[in-house]
Every structure is written in structure tokens, then in C-alpha cells.
Amino acid sequence: MKKTKIDHYTDKEALDFHSRNKPGKIEINSSKPMTTKRDLALAYSPGVAVPVRAIAENPDSAYDYTSKGNLVAVISNGSAILGMGDLGALASKPVMEGKAVLFKRFADIDSIDLEIDSKDSNEIINSIKNFACSFGGINLEDIAAPDCFIIEDKLKEILDIPVFHDDQHGTAIITTAALINALDISGKSINKIKVVVNGAGASAMACTNLFKNSGVPQKNIIMVDRSGVIYQGREGLNQWKSSHAAETKFRTLDEAISGADVFLGLSVKGALSKDMVKKMAKNPIIFACANPDPEITPEEIQEVRDDAIIATGRSDYPNQVNNLIGFPYVFRGALDVRAKTINEEMKVAAADAIAKLTREDVPDEVVAAMGGDRPHYGKDYIIPSTFDPRLISVIPAAVAKAAMNSGVARKDINDFEVYKEQLKQRLNPSVTIMQGINSYIKKNQKKIVFADGEDKNTLKAAIAFKNSKLGIPILVGKKEKIIERIKEIGYDDHFGIEIINSTDSKKREKYVNYLFKKMQREQGLLERDCDRLVRNDRVIWASCMVACGDADGAVTGNTRRFGASFEKVTQVIKARPGEIMFGLNMVIAKGKTIFVGDTSVNEYPSSEELAEIAISAARVVKMFGFIPKVAFVSHSTFGQPLTSRTKHIKRAVEILKNKNVDFDFDGDMQPDVALNEEYKELYPFSSIVGNANILVMPGQHSAAISYKMMKSLGDTKVIGPLLIGLGQPIEIAPLRSSTSEIINLASVAAYSADVIDYEKN
């Protein structure tokens, strides 16, 4: 069981992240067009009066005419912020915004964070009661006990929408799922096990309640707080602790743990000792979930037991108990049936669904999302990955069905198979692409040269690349200048990244010799010309490092135009044999991922070149886990109108037909025909119409204009351009790329380096 160091960031980086562009992490966008005067009249006055009257007559129609049905309020008073304690309502806002982002990212749920500046539970209850009609659900967060119990219980009484305190129930659902599978693997029965719960806060009590509702007898559970075992007759217990008081002679954790089958820790570092672990029953189940440091580390457990099943709250060990597996999907299912509440049946159904999903064979698309790992059900895999794309279709469906069966749903789902497909469509599959690539490259780390080492964004990217364990960065630049930049962005000079430049005479001589042998006949350069190139140009130097095997890949370009960097790179490294070089951009917009080429190399590709671009693009898109569907786009559709500019596109299609390629393609067609399903009925003979995910553009000008307009004007994310067809993995970042964009390109370079190594072997 391998442990890795958790990522680190400077305070300045975290602050810069939250303040960059628009401050904060969320914004509100209109879901309807707001272009014309008529649009505004429909959206507001006088058109808005119509749905107002409809809702006044039938309040349930608010689900049809407003965003209520997909809107969750994320609420805190800041009294228990992420283990930091009571820092106040306003200080909790970054956390609540973050929660809202997670709702959207993982379950396509819109959220608004609301921080209530009060410690009075009644005042908080009244505040929420008075604005609750605006929302489809309420998510309580970071509210200290016992107020969190009081607030949730009362709101459940008075509101007819789901109220969910994630600190309690999210943890409980995931932990119960892990327990179900751990018992299955260890061959133990849930109604016979002895459980010890260390900790008596909100999470511990919710877990204990769900354990009981899942089949653990109450008499078989002992809960321990700071004062020892919570036993019947102990003085000073509040009503919540009293409900978990056990009839037992044990008074300490050390006594209670003897013979226990399960230890659940939601307490503090070091609470469970190795001697205590020795006393547990055969095949013990140990969930040490204190954060950031568990009650006992997996390494310590393994020193004294080789039969234990272990889970923690950390991402750097197997079996992470992470609420992210639960709360977005539980709310998704509850909202979709307009549930009045989230009851115990729905929580048990969620836990069972998560447990069953873990036991299924992991399909290829999940393997890609997890970076090439194909986990198998067993001691080190009792909970799915947070990035498992199957979660969105499995958990909400189970929750929705339980809501219907238990009588709290106000809307039925007639066909659950159709519903599951609809759920899958809510998430853009590309959101897992970089996660999958990053998970993959962490296992086989490559040396990646960051050629523009003195540039701040490049420097931040290199540090993040190293700290995230994505690979081994190498910076090209003057050491003094880089150290100065390091201090400017909030680090000291002990960041542990190799800095290299042309003062390294041994390497300089090596690269000059390489270039001279390569270029003396190709370009008629003298040895002193090559020496001047190596000494004076960081891109040449970085490319030589890759070409000569001193690095596995490189990223450059952030301080100069793409064409200038491309010219330098291709002086050193040529195209892959039999391939054309071109730029391919991954464009992510409105739930779709589209690959666009050629965006940066070939000004006006010939028919043969267009066909080769399609073949290479399809190869790359497959590598990213997509099924390639190629559209050759134009200002015409299937020859209408036929002009001199469309003939070579139609010829490219014919060339591909003669090559018998293993992917679907068609053209010529306009971009809207390629992307919009509405055109399918007009062109039923084409499988590409409305389905394309690769757009082969007729020229570099149209490709570059298209993706840059989308990036600048639309809600669009762009990764690239990826330099396809180059003989070595070097990526060129567009001028003034962000830190994240540079990291993505460095990751792609590392991934490509591993693919090239595989192809060589």
C-alpha cells in the first residue's frame, strides 16, 4: 500500500487562483438567449407575468417554469470550517463556493452559496425556512454540533424539499458502502459484527445510524468520545449521545477494541495504537478517517496485521472515504423525482449502489479516466474512484427509485434505462480526460523540459507539475533570474527543480555536435552557427535535450508566437515517418468535446494532407478515449454550393474511402450540420451529421479563427494546440497561456512520451 506526498501550493498561489479574472469560483449565466428586445420581453416584462400567474395558481409549476428543480442552496454559518473551527460566516464563503462548483462539475446541479451570520439555531432555521421556496434542496455544511442536528431535524419537519447535512450523511453513505464490501471480502455477516466507533461528532453519529439501518444490531456498536465509552448510565450525556449509549462494562477504547471486527475512526491522529489493532478480531476492518492525519496509518497497521482491510480519508492511500462519491449524486436523484426529503431508505440505496458498483468489472472508459489502472474488487478496492464516470448514472437512479418506493417522490420515472442514459449525457466526458492522463503519467514519471523557465506562468506550471507528482520538470533559464521569479510568486529558492542553460559546457558540446551533423547538409550551417543557436535559443536547447535523450518531452511557446517556436523545434526534430505535422485543439463547450485541426501548421492543406490529418487526428482521439467521428467542414454541405474551394475537400473524402480506414467520416459539410442533431432528418444518409467530434478544417486560417473566437467569446475551454506528427513529444503553448494550460500541455507531452516508448518496444 503505497503512500505519496499530498500536493502543496503556496498561500499566494491559492489567493491568486481565487482572485484571478473574476474573484471567486462561481457566476450566474442565462440559460435562455438574451439578444433581442423580444428575448428581454419574454424573460422579464411583460412575458414573465404568464409563468407568475401559472405558479400562483399551481405552486408545483415552479418546477416547470423556473430553475427551482435543479437549484440547491449550500448553507453554512462558518462554525466548523474544514477542521479549522469557528471562523465565521464570511470566512466560509470560499468553501461553500467550492461546494457549489462540485455540485455542477459532478452532477450538473446549479447551486447558490448562502452564508448566515448567526450562531442562533432558531434564527438560522427561520432564515432558511423563509427563502427555501426558491430551491429544490438544501445542503447544510460546516455547522458545528449540536446545532447541525437541531437545524437539520427542524428543517426536515417544516420543509417539503430535501435537507441534507453532508458532513453527516455524505460521510455515512460512503462509509457504509465501504463497510458492505469489506464485510463481503472478509466473509463476515453485518448482523453479527462488533463495531467500535471512535468519535461522537456529527459524522460519527450519522455513520452509526446508517450502520444500524443497514443491519448492524444496536447492541453490537460501542461509541467512544474524548471521555471514553458512551455507556448507559454515564452522566452528562446530551440527547444525541444518549441514543448511542451501550450496555457495556467497557470504559476505554483500549478495552472496547478487544475482539472488535470493525473500527471506525472519525476523531484525531494517533487515537488507535498498534497494540489495539493486535487485539481486534480476525480480518479486522479499520476505517481511520481522521483528516488530515488518520487515527493510525496503514503502514502502522501492516506492521502488526496482514489480514486487515483499511480505508482512510486521504487520496494518497487506497480506499479513500470521500463525500464527493455521494452528495452530488444523492441530490441529483432526489431532485429528479422532486423528493420531499432524503430519507434513510434513499441513503441505504445510495450506499448499496456504490457497493455494488465497486464489485462490477471496470470498463475501458473507467480505466482511461483512472489513468490506465484497472482496479479489481478486493482489499485495496472497496470504494469506487471519485472520477469513475459510472457514478452519475448508478447512484441517482438508485436514490430516485428508493424515493419512489418509499413514497417521498412527487414525480415518477417511468423508464430507468432511459433515465440512466439521460444522466450520462449531463456530464461532458472530457472532464475526465486530463484526470486520466495525469493519473497515468504519475505512475511512470517522465522528465519534461519547461523551455521558458524565466516566465512566471511557466515557472508556476513547472512547480505545480513537480508538486502534483506528474513528472520531473527541468527549467531552462538563468538561475539567478529564476530564483528572483520564484520569490516573486511566493516560494523560497528551495523548490528542488533542476535549472539548466548553455553554461553547461558538456551538454552544449553534445547538442552542437548533434545539430551540426543534422544541419550541415540540410541547411548548410557551420559548426559555429549551430553553437550560436544552442547558446542563444532556449527552444533549440530544450529540443536538443529531448532529441539527445536528456529529457523525455518538452513544453515551450508561452513567450513567443507559435510559428516562431515551431520553426525552432522543427530545426531540431522532424516529423514522424509517414505522418504530417499539424495542430489539433481540444475544444470543450456546452457539454461537447470537439477536436479541431489543423489550427497552426499547414496554411492550406491539399486533399492528401487533409486525409492524413483526419487519419492522425482519429489516432489521437482514440488515445484520449473517444470514438472518432470525422467531419470535413466547409462553407458548403455535400457540394452545395460547389466552388473551387470545396472540390479539394470532397476529394479528401474520396481518398479516405479508398484507404479503408477504421473510423467514420463524411463531408463536405458546414460546422452546424456536423455538430447539430437537428440536421439528421435532412441528411439521414450520413452517420456523421450531428455526431462529429473531429472537425478537419479547410485551412489553418479558418481553424485558428474558429477556436480562438470560441475561446474568447464563448463559455469554452481549449486544450492545445497539440502538435501532432512531430517525431518527439514537444508541445507549444499559445502566447500568454495560463499556468493551467501549460500544465495540461506538459502532461500531454509526458503521456505522449510514454506512448512513444510503448510503440518503440
Predicted local confidence at residue 594, as pLDDT: 87
Cβ 248 vs Cβ 272: under 8 Å: no
- Lowest-pLDDT choice from 205-209, 234-238, 384-388, 414-418: 384-388
Query: How many CB atoms are located within 10 Å of the residue 381 CB?
Result: 18
Sheet holding 285-288, edge to edge: 228-229, 221-225, 195-198, 262-265, 285-288, 309-312
CA dist., res. 502 & res. 188, Å (int): 65
Selected residue with higher pLDDT from 10 and 453: 453
Mean local confidence (pLDDT), 664-674: 89
Residue with C-alpha cell 460546422? 671
H-helix or E-strand containing 716? strand 716-724
Helix (H, G, I), strand (E, B) or coil at 413: coil
The H or E element spanning position 666 is strand 664-669
- 340 tagged catalytic: no
Catalytic residue from among 99, 446, 518, 568: 99
Give pTM, 2 decimals. 0.73
Distance of CA 112 to the CA centre of its chain: 20
Q: Where are the alpha helices (DSSP H) in 145-265?
A: 147-158, 166-186, 202-214, 239-242, 253-256
| pLDDT, mean over the chain | 87
How many Å is the maximal CA-CA distance in the chain?
95
- Name residue, grid cell 459539410: 669
Q: CA 579, CA 582: separation in Å to the nearest integer?
A: 9
The pLDDT value given to residue 737: 82
Catalytic residue chosen out of the listed positions 3, 12, 44, 517? 44
Q: How confident is the model at residue 25 (pLDDT cuts 50, 70, 90)?
A: confident
What does the CA dihedral 648, 654, 659, 665 come to, rounded to 10 degrees? Answer: 90
Based on its alpha-carbon atoms, the radius of gyration of the chain, rounded to whole angstroms, reads 29
Neighbouring C-beta atoms of residue 608, cutoff 10 Å: 13
Share of the chain above pLDDT 70, in %: 93
Question: Which among 234, 240, 185, 235 has a CA at the least distance from the CA of 208?
Answer: 240
The phi, psi pair for 420, rounded to 5°, reads -65, -40
Beta strands in 518-591 (DSSP E): 553-556, 582-589
Reported as a single tens digit per residue, the pLDDT across 295-320 is 999 999 999 999 999 999 887 788 98
Helix (H, G, I), strand (E, B) or coil at 133: helix
CA distance 316 to 680: 47
What per-residue confidence (pLDDT) applies to 2? 40
Q: Are 623 and 665 in contact (CB under 8 A)?
A: no
Question: What integer pLDDT is reported at residue 168 of this predicted model?
Answer: 86
Enter the C-alpha cell of residue 212: 444500524
User: Does the active-site annotation cover 44?
Assistant: yes
* Sheet of 553-556, strands arranged across: 498-500, 472-476, 447-450, 553-556, 730-732
Q: Sorting pLDDT into bands at 50, 70 and 90, what band is 365?
A: low
Of the listed ranges 200-214, 585-599, 628-642, the least confidently predicted one is: 585-599
Cα separation, 537 vs 564, in Å, equals: 11
Cα separations in angstroms, 643 against 406, 646, 682, 703, 756: 64, 5, 22, 19, 41
What is the DSSP secondary-structure string of 727-738?
SS-EEEPPTT--
Q: Show the beta-strand stretches assigned E in 477-527.
A: 498-500
Residue predicted with more confidence, 32 or 98: 98
Which position has the higher pLDDT, 671 or 125? 125
Structural contact between residues 172 and 347, judged by C-beta atoms closer than 8 angstroms: yes
Asked if 635 and 670 count as a contact pair (C-beta separation under 8 A), the reply is yes
User: ω into residue 721 within 30 of 0, thus cis?
Assistant: yes
pLDDT exceeds cutoff 50 at 173: yes
Q: How many CA atoms within 13 Å lie on the side-chain side of 487?
A: 6
pLDDT of 761: 44
Is residue 556 within 8 A of residue 730, CB to CB? The reply is: yes
pLDDT exceeds 80 at position 363 = no
pLDDT class of 1 with cuts at 50, 70, 90: very low
**pLDDT at residue 355 is higher than 90:** yes
- Determine the Cα angle at 324 with ends 321 and 329, to 5°: 125
If pLDDT is split at 50, 70 and 90, which confidence band does 335 have?
very high
Name the strand (E) or helix (H) holding 63: helix 62-65
| Residue 637: band (very low, low, confident or very high) from pLDDT cuts 50, 70, 90 | confident
Is the pLDDT score of 3 beyond 90? Answer: no
Quick check: 474 and 449 in contact, CB under 8 A? Answer: yes
Mean pLDDT of 9-27: 78
Q: What is the pLDDT of residues 510-540, one digit of tens each?
A: 988 888 887 666 666 777 888 888 888 899 9
Task: Name residues whose C-beta falls within 8 Å of residue 623's C-beta, 6 or more positions apart in sequence.
Answer: 755
Q: Are 177 and 352 in contact (CB under 8 A)?
A: yes
| 546, 728 contact by CB (below 8 A) | yes
| Pairing verdict, β 664-669 and 447-450 | unpaired
**b/e code 153-165 from CB counts within 10 Å (16+ = b):** ebbbeebebbbbb
Q: 350 burial class (0-12, 13-18, 19+ CB within 10 angstroms)?
A: buried
pLDDT value of position 714: 66
Give 410-449 pLDDT, tens digit per residue.
Answer: 999 999 988 988 887 777 555 567 777 887 888 888 999 9
Would you say how long the chain is, in residues?
761
